[in-house]
């Protein structure tokens, strides 16, 4: 079922989400709904708070662009991107590389706004799975950026919070208009 994506200004987007403590039938259905919603919205990632759920759960699928990473290790072994997509995880943990790079980002919860965001170029991620296993990922490129973006959502952080001071000032009026319009550009 396609769910409504909550928009900028909704309080759930600013909450630090609760850990997932049990994988229930309802949680499995939520994951299926989130995947369907993400695909319908042409997104590469979706976090549970974006569909109004205060849970440390997210989905990512960057398989449309297999060249979007130059490094992908899964549990210490080189891996193909398609082998882990769509990526579904709960209660994630991230470690960041020192090197940073800028890249264009947008968000399904902040319609009509895209901006350059500087983030660590590579990450190591500990990603518990619904079946109780844990994926240890080391990656870069779009997958590293998507992981950081979605995990930010689980901590109540939006990509616009990561903009440079100058970009934040220039974005201020556009974000205010989004709030005034109820999240619709």
* Residues tagged active-site: 150
Contact criterion met (CB below 8 Å) for 29 and 130: no
């Amino acid at each position: 079922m396609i769910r409504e994506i909550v928009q900028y200004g909704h309080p759930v987007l600013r909450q630090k989400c609760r850990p997932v403590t049990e994988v229930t039938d309802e949680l499995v259905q939520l994951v299926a709904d989130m995947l369907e919603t993400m695909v319908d919205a042409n997104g590469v990632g979706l976090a549970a708070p974006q569909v109004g759920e205060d849970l440390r759960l997210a989905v990512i699928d960057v398989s449309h662009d297999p060249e979007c990473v130059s490094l992908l290790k899964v549990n210490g072994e080189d891996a193909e991107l398609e082998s882990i997509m769509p990526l579904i995880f709960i209660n994630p943990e991230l470690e960041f590389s020192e090197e940073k790079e800028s890249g264009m980002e947008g968000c399904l919860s902040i319609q009509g706004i895209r901006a350059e965001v500087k983030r660590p170029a590579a990450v190591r991620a500990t990603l518990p799975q619904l079946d109780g296993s844990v994926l240890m990922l080391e990656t870069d490129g779009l997958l590293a950026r998507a992981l950081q973006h979605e995990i930010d959502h689980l901590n109540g952080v939006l990509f616009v919070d990561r903009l440079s001071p100058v970009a934040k000032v220039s974005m201020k009026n556009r974000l205010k208009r989004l709030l005034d319009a109820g999240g619709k550009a």
